[in-house]
C-alpha cells in the first residue's frame, strides 16, 4: 500500500501538476527519507518517500521538500529550525509544519530546497 499511495500517487501528482502548468510544488516528506535506514520498521515508507523526493527534483517543477521530525499535536510555537542541523529524534508540531508548508508556497528563498525541520527549544 505504501508504494501505491506514498510513491506512485505522489509521482502521478507531480506529473499532472506539471502538465497543468503548476509553478511550484511543496512536498511534505519525512525525516529519514534522505537516507532510509534498512533497520527501521519504516524502511518501506522511507524508501517510497525518498523515491518520490528524487522524482520531484528531476521533474522540472520548482519545488520545496520539507522533512519534519516526529509530529506532535502540541500547540505550535512558530519557532522552527530548518536545515541539516536538526535532531532526527526531535519533535515538530503539526501546526508549525503546516505554517512552514504554507510559507513555502510563496517564499522564493525556500524554492529548490530540501530541508529537515524541528521545533526549537
- Given a cut of 70, whether residue 119 has pLDDT beyond it is yes
Confidence label for 40 from pLDDT (cuts 50, 70 and 90): low
* CATH ID of 2-119, from 3.10.20.520, 3.40.50.720, 3.40.50.2300, 1.10.3720.10: 3.40.50.720
Q: Specify the DSSP element, H or E, that contains 15.
A: helix 10-19
The model's pTM: 0.88
> Cell digits for 38?
534498512
> Cell digits for 22?
503548476
Q: How many CB atoms lie under 10 A from the CB of residue 15?
A: 13
Maximal CA-CA distance, the chain = 42
Angle value at C-alpha 33, between 7 and 28, nearest 5 degrees: 65
pLDDT tens sequence across 48-83: 888 999 999 999 999 999 999 888 888 777 778 888
Report the distance separating Cα 18 and Cα 1, nearest Å: 25
Q: What confidence score (pLDDT) does residue 64 get?
A: 97
Amino acid at each position: 500500500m505504501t508504494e501505491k499511495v506514498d510513491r506512485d500517487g505522489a509521482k502521478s501528482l507531480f506529473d499532472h501538476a506539471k502538465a497543468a502548468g503548476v509553478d511550484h510544488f511543496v512536498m511534505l516528506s519525512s525525516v529519514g527519507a534522505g537516507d532510509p535506514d534498512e533497520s527501521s520498521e519504516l524502511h518501506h515508507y522511507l524508501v517510497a518517500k525518498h523515491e518520490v523526493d528524487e522524482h520531484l527534483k528531476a521533474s522540472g517543477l520548482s519545488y520545496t521538500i520539507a522533512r519534519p521530525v516526529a509530529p506532535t499535536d502540541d500547540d505550535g510555537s512558530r519557532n522552527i529550525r530548518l536545515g541539516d542541523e536538526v535532531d532526527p529524534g526531535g519533535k515538530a508540531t503539526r501546526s508549525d509544519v503546516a505554517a512552514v508548508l504554507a510559507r513555502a508556497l510563496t517564499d522564493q528563498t525556500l524554492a529548490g530546497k530540501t530541508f529537515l525541520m524541528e521545533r526549537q527549544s
